[in-house]
Structure 1
Amino acid sequence: MPALSREVAQGWIARWDRQQEGYLPDREERFTALIDAVEAGAGRPDPLVLDLGCGPGSLAARLLDRLPDATVVAIDADPLLLALGRACHDGRSGLRFEDLDLRAAGWASGLRLDRPVDVAVSTTALHWLSEAGLRTMFAELSLVLRPGGLFLNGDHLDVEDVSPALAKIEHAIYDRATRRRFTEGMPEDWRQWWAAVDADPILSGLHAERERRVAAAHHGSESGNLSTHVTALRGAGFAEIGTLWQNGNNRLLAAVRP
């Protein structure tokens, strides 16, 4: 397999960020709100932060740009996205990537932490987990998050199961924001990005490994409802739970461990 250079990784991550913006016209605004919450809620200038479902490290990099004394442990099970993140950010102080499956019991024991976690963050990732996967993930997180520690999740989380009329309005707000943002046409989408990756000889081997893992996994149904996430958090012992920022059905959900 050809070597993955920093320059190649940077190009693919920039392309990743552009295609993600097609689904999140206010992606940078949500990043900013999330990092504001870390800064306000961590309780120290050098927090230990877990980035759950980190992808290629887009959030982790922005967080360290703002809080250079933080330590970020970025966790994912996608070998290709992890490889891009490691190549792009190789040697960056305060950042390391871990290949761990958040759906698996015991993942927290593989983190090699020297102190409790102050904040756990995620963005556009946890909706991929089934309800059972969420329960496992939050149960493990509660083992390493300090008392008073903060959980922050930026994602599209719907209220269709409890408030269908409000859910319809939330989706309309999101659709209008998207049309205003992309008046000259939508960027590359998710499927197009992955097809381009598969066609790249530098990345095709990693893409094949990713496909092997996906085929071997049993994901279950996705968890796109806000109520599912809130119920799983309460089941893991989290107390105060609420939305800190919202635009349509795109929201920043927060919870505090007692």
Structure 2
Amino acid sequence: MLDLGCGPGSLAVRVLDRILAATVVAVDADPLLLGLARAAHRDRAGLRLVEADLGRPGWGADLALRETVGAAVSTTALHWLPEPQLRVAYGELAGLLRPGGILLNGDDLSVADFAPGLAELERHLQHWAAGPRGESLDDWRAWWDGVTEDPALAELVARCGDGPAAAHRDAESAQLSAHERALRAAGFAEVGTLWQHGGNRLVCAITGARVV
């Protein structure tokens, strides 16, 4: 299994907790986030961490896989890729998955470009569901600002320059339609939403033969 944009490894280790026989190759381009993952999970059986840029053609070769992959997962990561790079990421992934392999991507994706009324209702639903607790949660940029102030992480922060928050500003693929277009262009046979709460969606794509 692949974990795309794995960050500090939170999703990867949860997968390993649930699927004991799994092997997870966790991929990210950010040396700081991978540094946190290695510090927290360096001895975790079944986990391999790889630094690779998902928006660069040929990133699949960096993984040094010995066989095709059954599944790929991601959460709140792939929307950071601009649509041209998103197409590269999904195109490369399609070549790594075996027939019937699946991608499960959990992310906040909007339908405002083709269903603005629904998008507005989703925003109201999320605000209502979060309540006062949701108002205090850090977003990615606030989290990154906090990390840069930690002296213990200074060396890794220096490797990141201005950091992902600056590098991706105003370049996100935050529309559901962008992901659907990129997945279909990559040759995935089926694309759809398996689960949704407001704008938070679990998008599934199946390549090749249908899973039964």
Could you tell me which runs of 5 or more consecutive residues in structure 1 were left unpaired when the two chains were aligned: 1-48
Pairing 1:209-220 to 2, within 5 Å after superposition: 209-211=159-161
| Equivalent-residue separation in structure 1 for 2:170 and 2:111 (angstroms) | 20
| Contact 1:129–1:219 under 8 Å retained in 2 | no
Q: TM-score, structure 1 length as denominator?
A: 0.76
| Equivalent-residue separation in structure 1 for 2:165 and 2:139 (angstroms) | 22
Q: Secondary structure of 2:189's match? A: coil
Task: Tell me which stretches of 4 or more aligned residues in structure 1 moved more than 6 Å.
Answer: 215-220
Q: Structure 1, residues 201-232: CA drift from partner, whole Å, max 9, x if none?
A: 21011112112675996887211111110010
The alpha-carbon deviation at position 98 of structure 1 amounts to 0.4
1:244 match? 194
| Contact 1:161–1:225 under 8 Å retained in 2 | yes
Pairing 1:1-258 to 2, within 5 Å after superposition: 49-179=1-131, 182=133, 186-211=136-161, 221-258=171-208
Structure 1 residues 94, 108: CA separation in 2 closer, same or farther (over 3 Å shift)?
same
| Equivalent-residue separation in structure 2 for 1:216 and 1:188 (angstroms) | 16
| Equivalent-residue separation in structure 2 for 1:226 and 1:66 (angstroms) | 28
| Contact 2:28–2:50 under 8 Å retained in 1 | yes
Structure 1 residues 257, 99: CA separation in 2 closer, same or farther (over 3 Å shift)?
same
| Equivalent-residue separation in structure 2 for 1:247 and 1:106 (angstroms) | 34
Q: Which has the higher strand share?
A: 2
1:40 match? none
| Contact 1:118–1:146 under 8 Å retained in 2 | yes
Q: Secondary structure of 1:61's match? A: helix
Structure 1 residues 153, 126: CA separation in 2 closer, same or farther (over 3 Å shift)?
same
| Contact 1:130–1:220 under 8 Å retained in 2 | no
- More displaced, 205-214 or 227-236? 205-214
Q: TM-score, structure 2 length as denominator?
A: 0.92
The alpha-carbon deviation at position 80 of structure 1 amounts to 0.7
- Paired amino acid for 2:71: V
> What percent of counterpart residues are identical?
54
Structure 1 residues 219, 193: CA separation in 2 closer, same or farther (over 3 Å shift)?
closer
| Number of corresponding residues | 208
Q: Secondary structure of 2:161's match? A: helix
Q: Secondary structure of 1:211's match? A: coil
| Contact 2:80–2:168 under 8 Å retained in 1 | no
| Contact 1:129–1:220 under 8 Å retained in 2 | no
The alpha-carbon deviation at position 195 of structure 1 amounts to 2.9
| Equivalent-residue separation in structure 1 for 2:165 and 2:203 (angstroms) | 30
| Contact 2:144–2:165 under 8 Å retained in 1 | no
| Equivalent-residue separation in structure 2 for 1:232 and 1:220 (angstroms) | 19
